[in-house]
Amino acid sequence: MQSNGESPGAGDPTPEPEVHLPGTGAARGFFRDSREHPVLITEAATSLDEQHRARVRRYMLIMGFRIPCLILAAVAYSVFENPLISILIIAASVPLPWVAVLIANDRPPRTKDEPSRWDGRREEIALEARSRKALE
């Protein structure tokens, strides 16, 4: 019995179910992950703009090591007074543009779901052999 003398369900409307909004109350843990990290609902590849931005970022990062290498070579020459150390540092920075271009132009890796383009026609002959009359 309740303290005011009424029975527990008398006159009370049907209790409404609790509604938990995202980010509030007990259901916060359930919705928090989906609000902060959207759910991927497609199997589409990353867009060409995103791929381009990632490649430019990789290129700039690798090429960003070249100027510090040249500065390090100058500092090493002034500190150690040995041109061999500076030449080795500069030699290490020479292939950086080549490596940066190769890595930046590389496409994203293929997935296992991507179909193979080879269909096994290696055994087929490109031109059929026909019997021809030979001149004697």
State whether residue 21 is helix, strand or coil.
Answer: coil
Is residue 92's pLDDT more than 80? yes
State whether residue 24 is helix, strand or coil.
Answer: coil
Cα 20 from Cα 23, distance rounded (Å):
8
- For the segment 7-44, what is each residue's pLDDT rounded down to a tens digit? 555 555 666 655 555 555 444 445 555 556 666 666 67
Higher pLDDT, 113 or 85: 85
Cα 80 from Cα 70, distance rounded (Å):
15
Summary mean pLDDT of the chain: 75
Higher pLDDT, 104 or 36: 104
Say what the pLDDT of residue 28 is: 47
Q: Where are the domains of the chain?
A: 65-107
- Rounded to an integer, the average pLDDT of 107-135 is 67
- pTM (two decimals): 0.50
Say what the pLDDT of residue 27 is: 46
